[in-house]
Chain A
Amino acid sequence: METRRHAFVALIVAVLIGAAVLAGVPRVSAASIVASMIATTIAVATPLILGALSGVLCERAGVVNLGIEGMMLTAAFFGWASASYASTVWGLPPSISLLLGVAGAIISGGLLGLVHAALSVTFRVDQIIGGTVINLLAVGLTGFLNRQLFFGSGSSSGVSYASPGVLPRVHLPGLADLPVVGRVFEQQPITLAAIALVVVTHIALFRTRWGLRVRAVGEHPQAAATVGIDVRRMRYQSVILGGCVAGLGGAYFTLESVPSFEPLMTNGRGFIALAAMIFGNWTPTGALAAALLFGSAQALQINLQMFREQLSGAWSFLQHSSIVGLLPYLLTLLILTGVIGRTTPPAADGKPYDG
């Protein structure tokens, strides 16, 4: 089953890269298109990887996290707001401001994780509704604060904050110097951190005592409780940690991708991350593979934008960015409905613990 799934991922990624090559090849060399597609895929997969890891952490402990989207949106706002504030009001240099921004994003994500944990563990709210609450709260709160703080509200004019820019690319010596493929390895810090976190989360969940406890709580909380594991405490820990990881994913939008905040800018990436987690069968490595798959669909969209005037005849409808724009979502829908066979969530996933 796992082999089939990985073969499927490789096939789709190859098809998508092939499509990008077909669209651009007379003008740009195939090798450089492939390198650019891979580099873009890894970059745009970053919030998907982190969002999916957030989901893995929460759901392995038995808490469904539908609020990833809201956590990322909120963190994108607070990350950007704190970085801009630090650089404009405190006059800190860009590097330190950006670091404070990342910290702000992680903390705001963690706080929403706390809200979700309180709702689902303490108040035993239906977890899917709890996540929806977080998403709606995030839209309202970020829209309100964005206008209130940065655009003013009638009487008080907003302060004009200058953004400290985006996190710089890290030049990995050796790998990044390679011809053509070098750019694949020249990525920004959050992207590199996301890939490192896949490894860290895998080890933490499957090779440590803490991970064993998290999984026990998600599979059979009653049994875990009888051997002395504090179910509520473990769930709180995992969900807050998951919130922090989603917060780092949110930082990607305003501190790594573009140096500004737009309302609703996460645009469903949190839900695709959730789908990546399901597709990856609730494992960090599976989530990474799925995130790269969806990332390549998005990379294709970005690539086709550049070559859109070359699309003609039967392909001319692809000139509309919205047609390519729906591709990642359509792919998610198709993939999750049978192409890969059934996935198995943790046994106690989504069920409040009463003991």
Chain B
Amino acid sequence: MTESARDGEYDEWLDSIESDDGYYLECSNGHGWLPPRRVCPRCHDQELSAVDLPESGEIASHTTITVPTPQFEDDAPYVTAIADFGPVSVTGLVRDVDPDDVAIGDVVGIDVGERVTTGDRAVVFRPR
């Protein structure tokens, strides 16, 4: 990958989160997905439109990872969680909270942060 290469709509989506203008894609039947996505895999609808991502979500599950991949070597231990934001769920790193204090049902906001190990961008959740 060249230094300037971007991952299309995924990076655009990260940009939107970074600028507090996050969105998700919704089909006409209300199923939500994250980009890039051209069709709703649940109902085959191809009329997907961008909808504002709720400002806060709720942690559905979480884990503190102590054995990471090399790309997260200096991040460990870190918390990865899936958080529900209305019709979509997002996976991200939980920051600004003691790992022992993270719980299902916690309300979090979504942001973009940096991985400690590589400096690459990553989805980050912070308590709200």
Bound together: no
